[in-house]
Amino acid sequence: MPKEALSILDQRTHSTYEIPTHDGTIRAMDLRQMKTGPEDFGLMTYDPAFMNTASCRSSITFIDGDKGILRYRGYPIEQLAEKCTFLEVAYLILFGELPTAPQLKEWVAEITHHTMLHETTKKFLEGFRYDAHPMGMLTSTVAALSTVYPEARHVLDPTVRALEIKRLIGKMPTIAAYTYRHSLGYPYVYPDNDFSYSENFMNMLWKMAEPKYQPNPIMARALDILFILHADHEQNCSANAMRAVGSSQADPFLSTAAACAALSGPLHGGANEEVLKMLDVIGSKDKVPAYMDKVKAGEFKLMGFGHRIYKNYDPRARIIKWAADKVFEVTGRNAKLDIALELERIALEDDYFVKRKLYPNVDFYSGIMYQAMGFKPEIFTVLFAIPRTAGWLAQWQELITDPEQKIARPRQVYIGEGARDVVPMENRVVVAPHPAA
Ligand code: CMC
């Protein structure tokens, strides 16, 4: 048996060290013993953007980016999307196993019980400008829930954690729908317990004066599938934000708000909105080659393409393409699909994209489908945040219960000035322009 260790020769001191390996990693702290002298702090690793650093041990989501594999708790995403509902998958992600029928019944009842918002939270939402971006409203309102449920700060109490997890999963669609109605100036619609999770979301979004909203079953199922696909994605930027903030033992509402903020960026969950803007800018299929030339010249990125982990087709993009076809049977084909398909066709053949292994990601087709379903682009990232809340909470729960975890606090390599004395104002000279200049 080969030894599970690295032998490292430190050329600075001619010392050798034996560093154990576990699961294809070494512990960065094992490098600290490598010093050039008693004053030396010890060797650190330098890894901006965590390109090659595992920050935790996790049993929630498995991704093989080269093969295009995604599994939650061992189950392939394709099977979950085909056979399960979103709340079943949320249960799986949070508790590790698929629920039995009685467990699911109880879980659905509990989540449904927590869909209402406190009336003061509704008033809080009313304070936003009519044109406020829904992600800004969602992020702030999730943070504001921390003031409604002060007991949530007892994060080490498993009973409290379980309650706040249900509250957050139950309330996310309600907040999301209210942000949407707010931007349209429509009255808010209260949750309806007769509906499934996705149907109820559609009800709160689109019910007008009719006595009972009738969700289209194909659209409701498509939405549920999208929720399943977005439920978790291991240590992405927002999950990392959730863990980083959660590691200070901030309450789960504030940690989830931090995760929402991370998700809102155009390189992360905000990309779905950017894809639609990009398709609008391109305008028609014949303009695609000229646009691609600009992407290759580095003028801008092709939104909805590329991924830190996937160096193959994102399996979620494939399922979304399939689900989009089902939606188009009801809504009619979104004209932007032709532009998107042409972008994909050229990208998959073009050397620039092939060499860099850039494939469509989850955001490439989701926006086209959302738009066909009647959603405005500004709400797309909110649609991502609703199901991802289950993933964030599972990651948070795993963090809190992991005895190896501590407050997240990276090191830095200091490259600034050495110690210097403050010069009196009258003796100072301009060495750098004013930052605002
Ligand atoms: N269009 C054109 N070139 C790209 C793209 C793109 N979308 N993505 C990466 N590249 C190029 C990049 O310029 C670099 O080229 P070079 O080696 O010549 O400098 C090379 O590919 C490697 O890219 P990178 O920026 O080092 O890759 P990363 O892992 O840091 O970034 C990413 C990953 C997703 C941020 C990036 O691919 C990107 O900005 N994509 C567009 C935004 C997007 O669609 N984001 C959604 C991601 S999926 C949903 C989610 O999890 O949030």
pLDDT tens, 207-258? 999 999 999 999 999 999 999 999 999 999 999 999 999 999 999 999 999 9
> 204 falls in which pLDDT band (50, 70, 90)?
very high
Q: Give me the chain's average pLDDT, please.
A: 95
pLDDT in tens, 272-310: 999 999 999 999 999 999 999 999 999 999 999 999 999
State residue 333's pLDDT score. Answer: 85
Say yes or no: CB of residue 274 within 6 Å of ligand 1. Answer: no
Reply yes or no on whether the pLDDT at 431 is more than 90. Answer: no
Is residue 434 pLDDT above 80, yes or no? no
Percent of the residues in the chain that have a pLDDT greater than 70, as a whole number: 100
Q: How far is the CA of 303 from the centre of ligand 1 (A)?
A: 8
Residue 314 CA: nearest ligand 1 atom is 48
Which atom number of ligand 1 is nearest to the Cα of residue 233? 51
Name the pLDDT band for 176 (thresholds 50, 70, 90): very high
Question: What average pLDDT does this structure show over 343-357?
Answer: 94
pLDDT of residue 432: 83
Mean pLDDT of all residues in 358-384: 91
Q: List the residue whose alpha carbon is closest to atom 52 of ligand 1.
A: 268
271 lines ligand 1 (CB under 6 A): yes
- Give the residue, by CA position, lying nearest to ligand 1 atom 37: 306
Q: What is the mean pLDDT of residues 103-111?
A: 98
pLDDT digits (tens, 9 = 90+) for 121-163: 999 999 999 899 999 999 999 999 999 999 999 999 999 999 9
Relative to the CA of 307, which ligand 1 atom is closest?
A: 34
How much is the average pLDDT of 259-264? 98
Among the atoms of ligand 1, which is closest to the Cα of residue 306?
37
Among residues 218, 193, 202, 196, which one has the least CA distance to residue 104?
196
Q: Are 305 and 347 in contact (CB under 8 A)?
A: yes
Answer yes or no: is the C-beta of 267 below 6 A from any ligand 1 atom: yes
Answer yes or no: 350 catalytic.
no
Asked whether residue 23 carries a pLDDT value surpassing 90, the answer given is: yes
- More confident call, 167 vs 334: 167
Q: How far apart are CA 437 and CA 435, in angstroms?
A: 6
Residue 133 designated active-site: no
* Residue 335, pLDDT score: 82
30, 64, 154, 268: the active-site residue: 268
Predicted confidence at residue 165, as pLDDT, reads 98
CA–centroid distance, residue 356 to ligand 1 (Å): 9
CB of 272 closer than 6 angstroms to any ligand 1 atom = no
Active-site annotation holds for 307: yes
Q: How far does the centroid of ligand 1 lie from the alpha carbon of residue 352, in Å?
A: 12
Q: How far does residue 136's CA lie from ligand 1's centre (Å)?
A: 24
435 has pLDDT over 80: no
pLDDT score for 78: 97
- The pLDDT value given to residue 334: 82
Nearest CA to ligand 1 atom 41: 303
pTM here? 0.94
pLDDT of residue 367: 87
Range of lowest pLDDT (38-52, 246-260, 326-340): 326-340
Whether 236 is in the pocket of ligand 1, judged by its Cβ within 6 Å, is yes
* Ligand 1 centroid to residue 110 C-alpha, Å: 40
What pLDDT does 436 receive?
Answer: 73
